[in-house]
């Protein structure tokens, strides 16, 4: 139901501007602690001694729009991070298509979703993927084969331009190569795409002051993607996948704050409207507010709607008791005071 609601909302409001050109689908799981033993699906999973539920969420965003929740699925606490990743990705991409994402759609996810089912779901829906890759011997060998002069410095914290040479001096560099993933599976399930690698200089915080390093050491972060964008654009767009963490944190302080014993994915559906209304409100900030009605329209005959709450306003003063009338003799003048 939330898919149809989001589609109607996108048709009538500018909630996702530019969705017909470039759209990003971000997928990420989260754990929510619960305390009742009778809650359906609540189990002790990754966190020792902590009973949790393990929902998975997908958000839809564009370069011009804030994210809205496109799909959500509630899972038991012991469920693996990538459980049901393929069908869930297909559901999120179907929502994106119904909203109007007819251009380039890129699915971004962390390393727990680096699997053949995820890639196959993206390709069936004619979407692109951008997945973080864990370091393993095959990835390490592919990175080692990259030539030293193929690394390009990027704007990273503490990067600066050398005033003498005009070159960017940075502790982070990016390069790419071609890589074939899932070689342990049958040929039809293997995928060949780009392997974009970001390396960050590893600094020894315990080294003595003034002591230089014999050779540079690096930490490598690889991304497996078939993005049509340039190397630097694709690497930056993948790092922006972290915005889904803010959406999850926002949801945990709202709909996920209280989970009912018979919780289902319907509990999360209002979150679509909440994020959509927030985005619309953000769009309306660019236009001036409507003028306040003239004071003549608020005359004594104006009626106001009665509040739906039966409790009095906390700031309202209690009504003062009526002053009793004093008796007086016939013909006696009464003061107006």
Domain annotation covers residue 303 = no
Give the pLDDT confidence score for residue 179 in this predicted structure: 97
Span 295-309, average pLDDT = 38
Residue 170, domain member (yes or no) = yes
Residue among 191, 25, 29 at smallest CA distance from 119: 191
Torsion on CA atoms 231, 234, 235, 237, rounded to nearest 10: 160
Q: Is the pTM value of this prediction over 0.85?
A: no
Angle, vertex CA 26, rays to CA 24 and CA 31, nearest 5: 165
Structural domain contains residue 310: no
- Tokens of residue 246, six digits: 């803010």
Nearest to 107 by CA among 198, 227, 9: 227
Tell me which residue of 222, 218, 205 sits closest to 170, measured CA to CA: 218
Q: Residue 10 belongs to a domain with what CATH number? A: 3.90.350.10
What's the pLDDT score for residue 3? 80
Q: What are the structure tokens assigned to 98, written together?
A: 């119904």
- How would residue 256 be classed by pLDDT, with cut points 50, 70 and 90? low
Report d(CA 109, CA 127) in Å as an integer. Answer: 13
What secondary structure does DSSP assign to 222-278, as a single string? EEEE--SS-HHHHHHHHHGGGHHHHHHHHHHTTGGGS--TT--GGGGTHHHHHHHHH
* 232-256: burial string, b at 16+ Cβ within 10 Å, e else: eebbebbeebeebeebbebbeeebb
Q: Is residue 99 part of a domain?
A: yes
Do the domain assignments include residue 289?
no
Q: Is residue 251 part of a domain?
A: yes
Write phi, then psi, for 170 (nearest 5 degrees): -140, 155
Q: Is residue 315 part of a domain?
A: no
Q: Give the relative orientation of helices 243-252 and 270-284 as an angle to the nearest 10 degrees.
A: 120
Average pLDDT rounded to a whole number, residues 229-257: 86
- Over residues 147-187, the pLDDT tens digits come to 999 999 888 776 767 666 677 767 789 999 999 999 999 99
**Number of domains, the chain:** 1
**DSSP-assigned beta bridge partners for residue 43:** 52
Residue 8 lies in a domain: yes
When pLDDT is averaged across residues 178-206 and rounded to a whole number, the result is: 89
Q: Which helix (H) or strand (E) holds 123?
A: helix 116-124
Q: How confident is the model at residue 298 (pLDDT cuts 50, 70, 90)?
A: very low
CA dihedral over 278, 107, 79, 242, signed as positive or negative: negative
Instruction: Give the residue carrying structure tokens 């107006």.
Output: 336
Structure tokens given for 264 = 């289902």
The CA-atom distances, in angstroms, between 167 and each of 150, 155, 162, 174, 234 are: 15, 12, 5, 15, 22
- Which residues are registered as beta bridge partners of 133? 222
Residue 26 confidence (pLDDT) above 90: yes
Cβ atoms of 220 and 143 closer than 8 Å: yes
Q: For residues 58 and 251, is the Cβ–Cβ distance under 8 A?
A: no
Hey, is 27 helix, strand or coil? strand
Domain span holding position 190: 2-205+213-284
Return phi, psi of residue 251, to 5°: -70, -35
What is the pLDDT of the chain when averaged over all its residues?
Answer: 78
Give the pair of three-digit tokens for residue 20.
């017909």
- CA-nearest of 159, 22, 174, 30 to 100 is 22
pLDDT score at 54: 85
The span from the CA of 48 to the CA of 78, in Å, is: 11
**Selection from 34, 74, 41 nearest residue 57 by Cα:** 74
Beta carbons of 221 and 195 less than 8 angstroms apart: no
> Is 305 exposed, middle or buried (CB count within 10 Å of its CB: 0-12, 13-18, 19+)?
exposed
């Amino acid at each position: 139901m939330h898919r149809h609601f989001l589609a109607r909302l996108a048709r009538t409001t500018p909630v996702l501007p530019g969705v017909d050109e470039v759209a990003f689908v971000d997928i990420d799981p989260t754990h929510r602690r619960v305390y009742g033993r009778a809650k359906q699906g609540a189990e002790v999973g990754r966190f020792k001694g902590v009973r949790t539920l393990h929902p998975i969420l997908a958000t839809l965003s564009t370069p011009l729009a804030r994210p809205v929740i496109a799909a959500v699925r509630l899972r038991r606490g012991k469920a693996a991070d990538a459980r049901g990743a393929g069908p869930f990705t297909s559901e999120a991409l179907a929502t994106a298509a119904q909203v109007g994402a007819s251009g380039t759609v890129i699915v971004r996810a962390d390393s727990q979703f680096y699997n053949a089912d995820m890639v196959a779901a993206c390709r069936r829906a004619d979407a692109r993927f951008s997945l973080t890759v864990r370091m393993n011997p095959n990835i390490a060998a592919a990175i080692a084969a990259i030539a030293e002069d193929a690394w390009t410095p990027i704007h990273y914290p503490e990067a600066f331009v050398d005033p003498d040479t005009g070159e960017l001096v940075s502790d982070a560099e990016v390069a790419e190569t071609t890589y074939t993933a899932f070689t342990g599976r049958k040929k039809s399930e293997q995928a060949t795409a780009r392997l974009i690698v970001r390396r960050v200089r590893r600094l020894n915080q315990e080294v003595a002051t003034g002591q230089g390093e014999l050779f540079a050491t690096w930490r490598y972060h690889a991304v497996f993607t078939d993005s049509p964008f340039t190397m630097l654009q694709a690497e930056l767009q993948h790092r922006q996948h972290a915005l889904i963490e803010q959406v999850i944190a926002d949801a945990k302080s709202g709909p996920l704050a209280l989970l009912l014993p018979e919780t289902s994915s319907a509990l999360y559906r209002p979150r679509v409207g909440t994020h959509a209304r927030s985005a619309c409100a953000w769009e309306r900030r660019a236009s001036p507010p409507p003028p306040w009605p003239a004071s003549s329209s608020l005359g004594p005959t104006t009626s106001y709607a009665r509040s739906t709450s039966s409790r009095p306003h906390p700031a309202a003063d209690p009504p003062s008791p009526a002053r009793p009338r004093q008796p007086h003799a016939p013909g006696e003048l009464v003061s107006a005071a």
